[in-house]
Structure 1
Amino acid sequence: MNGPRGNAWAMTERPWHQVRRDADTFQVGPSGLHWDGDCLVIDINETSAPLPYPVRGQVRVYPEMIGTTGFCLDAAGKHRWHPVAPRSRVEVNMANPDISWKGSGYFDSNFGEEALEDGFNDWHWSRAHLKNDVAVLYEGTRVDGTPFDLALKMDRQGRWTDVAAPPSVRLPRSGWLVNRRTRVDAGHKAKVTKTWVDAPFYARSALNTRLFGEDAHAVHESLSLGRFRSPIVQAMLPFRMPRAIC
């Protein structure tokens, strides 16, 4: 988050009996999300870590379209990715910290039959809102060493098109030395303008880039599941991702 206590972070693991869901609602502990007509409402009621500040507020996501296509990331279909709302209008109203803003957004889901670290060594993902389309680039290495990659554009009617991926380039490593890669049109450069999340195995950043003939601002992430599997990183996780017992 930006603003007061801009680095407030909350990601608490909770036991199965604190999870409730039905056709329109998904609740995890004191936080949850539900559909309200044409809007996804996300209610946040958490405590940051490692310093225990309250994180309270609401996010409302208004999709411009709903993506109906999911994509398998491995041959066995154990890992799937679904870009639910690739282009959305977002309203954020937080009580703690006291910030609010409106802008464009994106909503997707990863799900499957085994833990991510059992299926992958790393991945690099980015999305950019172009003038008429949403561009999504997704590539990485499975745990068996085989690569995967997707290069997609979605139009304003919600139709996905496979496109030729631009050339791959290296980005500067994060503060925790996580390797970062992206793709950018030939003859152009991509620049990291801000890193929002810098963790031992993960980095989320803003890029200035050029994709498919258009200058663009992109959201980018790099995930190192090799790092995540490290016993040292596993020992660090409870300080940033506490586990609620009851």
Structure 2
Amino acid sequence: MFSPYFKASGRGDPIDHAALNVALYGARARWTMTERPRGAIVRDADTLAIGPSEVRWSGDALTIDIEERDKRLGVPWQRRVCGRVTIHPETLNASALALDPARRHEWQCYAPRARVEVEMERPALRWRGSGYFDSNRGSESLEEGFRVWHWSRAHLKDGAAVTYEGERRDGSRFASALRFDRTGAPHHEDLPLVAPLPNTLWQMERKTRADRGHAGVIKTWEDAPFYARSTLSTRLFGESTVAVQESLDLNRFASPIVQFMLPYRMPRATG
């Protein structure tokens, strides 16, 4: 959805603009997002292969086999990034949330809670922990539908919580607080208070929702001109927890200078 090549093509054939994004943070940071054309894509009911990488359902688990190259700015060589991520959903949710009255954009939280196993060969690392699996889909581009949005997700003792809000392109606003129970079923809750967060180094505005309207930034993992991803210390529905938060500015994304910069982070393969 952030492809500059897809935007330049007039958004005719999305399968001709597929990519697997891998972001590893910390001492062994890596970034991959190589776009591949239709001829490099193979898919069926359970599998999506994007070049040498593959995403597939194996029984009740989603397996992601990674075979990519590091594409971060400032890296003079293309380091191999390979390994496997396995997502074991603890709960599943079948319902989607419309983000606009015409349902041009929908968001679905498939697995509000999941166990995640990361086994990387390059760089060599292993991780086990809690995770989450969701999806966005739409019949128009994000920048056509929205100006900005903010999202956060946190595990709770008996489920998970997601807050989602933003401003549509027509100036109207939307906001939802969902609490997923232990079966994965979503329940709309009263919105917690707005919790302002400090701007990023790129002066991205960001905010979340929290009890008493207060949350703190533990770490900003992604700080880009139009996008930020952070972990927060917060309290939701009476529980102290750690949340993942994202903010997205679509005006910045659509600007000519950002569109000029994107191919350096997201190259396109020829085959």
Gaps of 5+ in 1: none
- Shift in Å at residue 54 of structure 1? 1.2
- Counterpart of 1:155 (choices 181, 190, 194) is 181
Written as runs of structure 1 = structure 2, the 5 A alignment for 1:23-34 is: 23-34=45-56
- CA distance in 2 between counterparts of 1:48 and 1:145 reads 38
Residue equivalent to 1:218 = 243
Kindly tell me: are residues 64 and 140 of structure 1, through their superposed partners in 2, closer, same or farther at Cα, counting changes over 3 Å?
Answer: same
**Aligned match of 2:269:** 244
TM-score, L = length of structure 2:
0.87
Paired with 1:11 and 1:174, the residues of 2 have a C-alpha distance of 23
Say which SS state the counterpart of residue 5 (structure 1) adopts.
coil
Identity of aligned pairs, percent? 53
Tell me the SS of whatever aligns to 2:143. helix
Verify: 1:207 aligned to 2:232, yes or no. Answer: yes
Query: Match of 2:201, SS?
Result: coil
Q: CA offsets per residue over residues 59-115 of structure 1, 9 Å max, x none? A: 000000111011111111111111011100000011111111000000000011111
Q: CA deviation at 1:3?
A: 5.0
Q: Across the two proteins, how many residue pairs are aligned to each other?
A: 244
Greater Cα offset, 8-17 or 86-95: 8-17
User: Please, which of 116, 122, 125 is the counterpart of residue 142 of structure 2?
Assistant: 116
User: Please, which of 28, 50, 63 is the counterpart of residue 5 of structure 1?
Assistant: 28
CA distance in 2, matches of 1:110, 1:155: 21
1:68 match: 94
Asked if the contact 1:4–1:97 (Cα under 8 Å) also holds between the matched residues in 2, the reply is no
Distance 1:45 1:119 in 2: 33
- The SS at the match of 1:9 is strand
* Contact preservation (8 Å) 2:89, 2:111: yes
**For residue 99 of structure 1, what is the aligned residue in structure 2?**
125
Asked if the contact 2:112/2:159 (under 8 Å) is kept, the reply is no
Task: Report the Cα offset of residue 5 of structure 1.
Answer: 2.9
Equivalents in 1 of 2:31, 2:44: separation in Å? 28
Matched, 1:84 2:110: yes
What's the CA shift for 1:221?
Answer: 0.4
Alignment correspondent of 2:15: none
DSSP-derived class of the 2:163 partner = strand
Structure 1: distance between partners of 2:164 and 2:265 = 26
Q: Which amino acid in structure 1 is aligned with residue 106 of structure 2?
A: R
Residues 55 and 38 of structure 1, relative CA distance in 2, 3 Å threshold: same
